[in-house]
């Protein structure tokens, strides 16, 4: 394995292995990196941390990581680590940002102003045409159009943006898996002419649980999300909700009240989304967007404070006693426990590595 993003081969390998290890998700990865300073040190510490809760812990097998790297190289893809200069700034600001992505194509596109376009898979012909036109005009104006390569609106947005300029495709599978099958040629074109991103390891089939995480990447990359056509409780509305929670703009194209495919967009507008009718409206709305200067990974580092050993100021065992199956905010745990933030984070880290903690959206946790 060659070095990635200025990292040594050993550190890059350790980071991949760390993230693929049991009970290590993006938040836990961030805390481990902030506490120990490197993937190699964090990986070495995992058995001891989990052992404090009486569990034997085994990290991801090295052979598995070697096989993953070989599959990635075969696909012509590369790794992108959270502290790389090429890591998208807006995505880094989002909660639970993926610590490691894989990609094919021009990674510089992710640093352009981005706008997400999502919508119904069974979209109307009029919505398909409108999506192509808007995406074409946005790309022509210098915006990178982000979508998820799904049927319907997603595919139309990618096609329009490819014709006008640039597009970014975010997939729920491994970088070497095409889904849906009919978009195999489109996915390859995006990888060659634009940028293709995946969070899952190579060889991973697109499972239902992967799509919400893909949606958070789509919304996290973009200054705003435009929903062109969507039914209530659709995946597109999840993407829009995530965008709103991140402080990004949510936009929607209004539609006929008699068409169920328009109900989601009309509901978004009723709930405060911005009504737009074309690319010019989107550009005007987003032109002044600068984002939040904070980074989720920097915030994690601050949680530990200047002293990594602050847990000695209190008893981390008290934190576990405060948890139930009902999600509670970490800030609330800090207030109720009376110990330092670092102590609370250490206790949660021990519980999670032992398989006893569940993390929820909004920085909430519960007993697993």
Strands 224-227 and 114-118 come out as parallel
pLDDT of 278 over the 50 cut: yes
Tell me: pLDDT of 147 over 90.
yes
Alpha carbon 31 to its chain's center? 17
* Least confident window among 31-40, 284-293, 299-308, 323-332: 299-308
Confidence at residue 315, expressed as pLDDT on a 0 to 100 scale:
52
- Give the mean pLDDT of the chain: 89
Give residue 15's Cα distance to chain centre: 17
Radius of gyration of the chain (CA): 21
Whether 200 shows a pLDDT value over 60: the answer reads yes
| pLDDT digit string, tens, across residues 255-277 | 998 999 999 999 999 999 999 99
Q: Which of 181, 124, 179 is nearest to 156 (CA)?
A: 124
Cα distance between residue 43 and residue 228, in whole Å: 44
pLDDT (average), residues 169-193:
97
Whether pTM > 0.85 for this model: the answer is yes
Summary count for the chain: helices (H), strands (E): 16, 12
Beta-carbon contacts of 302 under 8 Å, excluding residues fewer than 6 positions away, are none
Q: What is the pLDDT of residue 3?
A: 52
Percent of the chain with pLDDT over 70: 91
What local confidence, expressed as pLDDT, does residue 294 receive? 45
- Pairing verdict, β 357-360 and 78-81: unpaired
| 3-class DSSP assignment, residue 202 | coil
On the question of pLDDT at 353 being above 90, the answer is no
Q: What is the pLDDT of residue 245?
A: 92
End-to-end CA distance of the chain: 36
CA distance 193 to 179: 18
- For residues 48 and 350, the answer to whether their CB atoms sit within 8 Å is no
Question: What pLDDT sits at residue 292?
Answer: 54
298 — pLDDT class (breaks 50, 70, 90) = very low
In contact, 171 and 197? CB cutoff 8 Å: yes
């Amino acid at each position: 394995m060659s070095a990635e993003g200025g990292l040594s081969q050993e550190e890059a390998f350790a980071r991949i292995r760390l993230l693929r290890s049991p009970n290590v998700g993006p938040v836990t990865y961030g805390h481990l990196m902030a506490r120990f300073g490197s993937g190699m040190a964090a990986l070495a510490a995992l058995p001891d941390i989990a052992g404090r809760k009486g569990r034997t812990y085994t990290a991801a097998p090295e052979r598995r990581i070697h096989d993953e790297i070989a599959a990635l190289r075969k696909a012509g893809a590369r790794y992108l680590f959270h502290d790389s200069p090429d890591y998208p700034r807006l995505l880094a600001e989002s909660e639970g940002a993926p610590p490691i992505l894989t990609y094919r194509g021009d990674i510089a596109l992710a640093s352009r102003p981005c706008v997400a376009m999502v919508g119904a898979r069974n979209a109307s012909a009029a919505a398909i045409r409108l999506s192509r036109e808007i995406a074409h005009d946005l790309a022509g104006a210098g915006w990178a159009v982000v979508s998820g390569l799904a049927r319907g609106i997603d595919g139309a947005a990618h096609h329009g943006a490819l014709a006008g300029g640039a597009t970014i495709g975010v997939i729920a599978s491994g970088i070497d898996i095409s889904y849906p099958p009919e978009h195999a040629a489109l996915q390859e074109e995006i990888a060659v002419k634009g940028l293709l991103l995946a969070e899952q390891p190579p060889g991973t089939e697109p499972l239902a649980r992967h799509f919400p995480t893909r949606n958070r990447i789509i919304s996290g990359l973009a200054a705003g999300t435009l929903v062109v056509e969507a039914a209530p409780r659709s995946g597109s509305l999840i993407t829009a909700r995530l965008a709103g929670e991140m402080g990004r703009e949510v936009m929607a194209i209004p539609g006929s009240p008699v068409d169920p495919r328009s109900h989601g967009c009309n509901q978004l507008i009723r709930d405060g989304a911005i009504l737009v009718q074309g690319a010019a409206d989107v550009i005007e709305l987003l032109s002044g967007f600068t984002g939040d200067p904070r980074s989720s990974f920097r915030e994690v580092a601050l949680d530990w404070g200047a002293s990594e050993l602050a847990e000695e100021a209190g008893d981390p065992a008290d934190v576990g006693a405060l948890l139930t199956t009902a999600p509670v905010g970490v800030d609330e745990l800090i207030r109720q426990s009376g110990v330092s933030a670092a102590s609370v984070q250490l206790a949660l880290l021990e519980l999670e590595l032992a398989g006893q903690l569940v993390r929820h959206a909004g920085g909430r946790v519960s007993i697993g």
